Amino acid sequence: MSEKFKALVINQEGDNFTREVKSLEKNFLKHGNVLIKVDYSSLNFKDALILKNGARLVKEFPHIPGVDFSGKVVESDSPNFKEGDEIICTGMRVGEAFYGGFSQYAKVKSDFMIKKPESISTRQAMVLGTAGFTALQCSFTTKQTREILLLGEKVNDVIVTGASGGVGSIAVMILSKLGCNVTAVTGKESNFEYLKSLGANNVIKTSELDSEARPLDKGLYDGAVDTVGGNVLSKVLSHIKQSGIVAACGNASSIKLNTTVMPFIIRGVKLWGIDSVNTSIKRREFIWGEAAKLIDFDKLEKSIKEISLNELIDVYPNMLAGKTSGRYIINVNK
């Protein structure tokens, strides 16, 4: 590699928090045993929080954020990766405790990443990114965990909250591809037609669910993917039918959950937390290998905004304010 490269660097000195695209030397990268020339990264809600103020996740400054990236190996001290291998890296506290993907080069431990399946490109990998990886986990949990692992009844009717966001929109597509009747929940009426194009059969506004829930309400759904938390998740739990699974992966509305034991002990509902950070390598390889079968990338491209590192600084506040939809991918060489 050349001795200099571009990266978005955040820093904190006292109360002064900064974010700036800088030119760095190769020796700035101090973690890991595999050096990757990054092709793409993506903007996730966690990234936006880190870009705002570190989100109490970053302990050492200066720091390169970016919780996921794809690219090609240029140097490796690992027997599992060689020069030229195309890789995907998500989670494992990359972008938090370790330097991340908002950079033209990244250096990480070999057990933090997998070889990219041939069925998708490095760009498509970041069209999905952590959001898509999480959506795949949530969708498999909601439908296949009940049908296959627990030998339960078929999952037909499902609800996806925060459906206009990165995780939600992809979950709508996946669950539709898996044969479910999908109800998408969004705060933006302007996204109704887009969500229907992804496979949603019904679209409702978040305001219909954002109120105090009864302990049990009419059973409407066999399962759910929740990216919102708070009152919305409480309401969803009250509407889940017997033995349904709710895959919870976000707290965009609130970290608090006001519910009762009734859905769990009367209907056998399961609230299944999804942690995409520490997923095993074997499970990562399986999930990424399934992606091409369940994702219509041509449809997703309609909602993809490709931006540069510099543009990222202007975009992340809009995500925190709930003013974005679809996915933002970062072309670090743009």
Q: What pLDDT, on the 0 to 100 scale, is given for residue 188? A: 85
pTM of the model: 0.91
Q: Residue 283: phi, psi to the nearest 5?
A: -70, -40
**C-alpha distances in angstroms, 136 versus 147, 176, 272, 276?**
16, 12, 14, 10
The answer to whether the peptide bond before residue 62 is cis (omega within 30 degrees of 0) is yes
Q: What domains are defined for the chain? A: 4-116+303-331 (3.90.180.10), 130-273 (3.40.50.720)
Identify the bridge partners of residue 25 per DSSP, sorted by sequence position: 4
Q: What pLDDT, on the 0 to 100 scale, is given for residue 127? A: 95
pLDDT in tens, 93-112: 999 999 999 999 999 999 99
DSSP 57: T
Q: What pLDDT, on the 0 to 100 scale, is given for residue 2? A: 63
Q: What pLDDT, on the 0 to 100 scale, is given for residue 325? A: 77
Q: What pLDDT, on the 0 to 100 scale, is given for residue 326? A: 75
The list of the chain residues with pLDDT below 50 reads none
pLDDT in tens, 221-271: 999 999 999 999 999 999 999 999 999 998 878 899 999 999 999 999 999
Any idea which residue has 């709710």 for tokens?
246
Q: Residue 50: phi, psi to the nearest 5?
A: -65, -40
